[in-house]
Chains A and B, each alone.
Chain A
Amino acid sequence: MAETKTKTVRFEISRQDTPDSDPYIEVFELDYRPNMNVISALMEIRRNPVTVDGKTTTPISWDMNCLEEVCGACSMVINGKPRQSCTALIDQLEQPIRLSPMRTFPVVRDLQVDRSRMFDSLKKVKAWIPIDGTYNLGPGPRMPEKKRQWAYELSKCMTCGVCLEACPNVNSSSDFIGPSALSQVRLFNAHPTGEMNRSDRLNAIMGDGGLANCGNSQNCVQSCPKGIPLTTSIASLNRDTTLQSFRNFFGSDQV
């Protein structure tokens, strides 16, 4: 009583050969296997890159690394929503499964994008804690446990780019750095040692393309795969930068 037709999974994938060429769609159909995810399907296509029409094509290019949703590299738009392809389980997706790159970023090829702007933003906002001195500075101040608990949530950011893809104010006509880098400012300003450079970070996000570009659509917090309270970070930074702007204008003894 063998089934005459095996269960299949259909993919409509946006392809793009070079950063400047026009995208086009190719359709693939794979045999269903239990517990498939989008990445294992893409690997299957790479093994046998034949479209549903029987045409042999080039393997699909995409980014991936950790395969457990902590590195952020494999983000792409799956059925209209930006998310990680490693945790996109075929059993939970509506078919045909439509894959396209996150076009907020420059497309390198197929589903692979260049997220450099996010890493540049982290540099711009000084998302680190300077601890170097010309002598041993000793241990830093302790962090209250309650603060550590919420700050830990912010540290889950993996720079995946989903919040930038979701944000209506991050696009080719705006230079908004986006929610993720802003939330990192709150994280490092919350740290007892990082706090010593808080005004440097606040002044950085008060520059062009900074915090004030947020239009409060709050898509970021709805889309973040790590559930980071991005809009709370933004509102909290709004309060901090408001006070910082007064300090800058009137002068202050605060760091």
Chain B
Amino acid sequence: MAQNREFGNRKLHSLLGVVPIGLFLIFHLTVNYMATKGADTFNAAVHLIEFTPIKIVVEFVVIYLPLIFHAVYGIYIAFTAKNNLGRFNFFRNWMFFLQRVSGIITLIFLIWHVYTTRIQAALGAEVNFDMMATIFSSPFMIVFYIVGLLSTVFHFANGLWSFSVSWGLTVSPKSQKIMTYITLVVFLVLSYIGLRAIFAFV
């Protein structure tokens, strides 16, 4: 098996995008949504998460390590493709292209996002409503976060579609088409939740 790593790596890449990264994304956006109920509700939710047992281990196992593998291998996948939208202007080819573009945008966004929040928290800053409100005091950051959010949610929703193909859940063209509609709903719902949260801080 030593030289045949690709199958396992690709499958792991696909799985990690949904479990745990996708689940964490939904959890994260749900917590953010508390901001729409006011600063106190949001601060209480954040405070609750701070009491996660062995928090640093959970963070590494559930978030950082899966995310780093997914990102590094994803960059490799994105740059081995030779996009040909000009010659093959099909819907799925667009999704293929956008999946790779959104992956890169999401990575850039996440590096900045983790630096300004989690790393600042590690350096002693307190994560609360005011921290986010300060970040969103700049119009550029609002735009940056909206782009980052939409790109992340698109990457997750469309990734859910290719996950279901890659693992053999949706085989027939009809099942794949139904999955296209389901993932579209996922994209719209998560985008709504995320955008509501962003504008709660503004």
Contacts and interface: CB of A to CB of B under 8 A. Distances in A.
A binds B: yes
Would you call the interface of chain B mostly helix, strand, loop, or mixed?
A: helix
A168 B93 contact: yes
B84 interface: yes
B88 A166 contact: yes
Nearest to A172: B82
Interface residues of A, number: 38
Contact of B162 (A216, A222, A242): A216
Contact of A208 (B4, B96, B166): B4
A124 interface: no
A213 B168 contact: no
B170 interface: yes
A239 B168 contact: yes
Contacts of B10: 212-213
Contact of B173 (A213, A214, A215, A232): A232
Contact of A173 (B80, B95, B173): B80
- Contact residue range for chain B? 35 or more
Given A173-B80, A229-B173, A239-B171, A245 B7 contact: yes
Contact of A235 (B86, B88, B165): B165
A166 B90 CA distance: 11
B7 A223 contact: no
B92 interface: yes
B7 A211 contact: yes
Given A173-B80, A215-B96, A238-B165, A80 B87 contact: yes
Given A168-B84, A210-B6, A240-B168, 9 more contacts: A206-B7, A214-B166, A217-B90, A218-B92, A218-B93, A223-B88, A231-B176, A239-B169, A245-B7
Interface of B: 3-11, 77, 79-84, 86-88, 90, 92-93, 95-97, 99, 161-162, 165-173, 176
Interface of A: 80-81, 166, 168-169, 171, 173-174, 206-219, 222-223, 229, 231-232, 234-243, 245
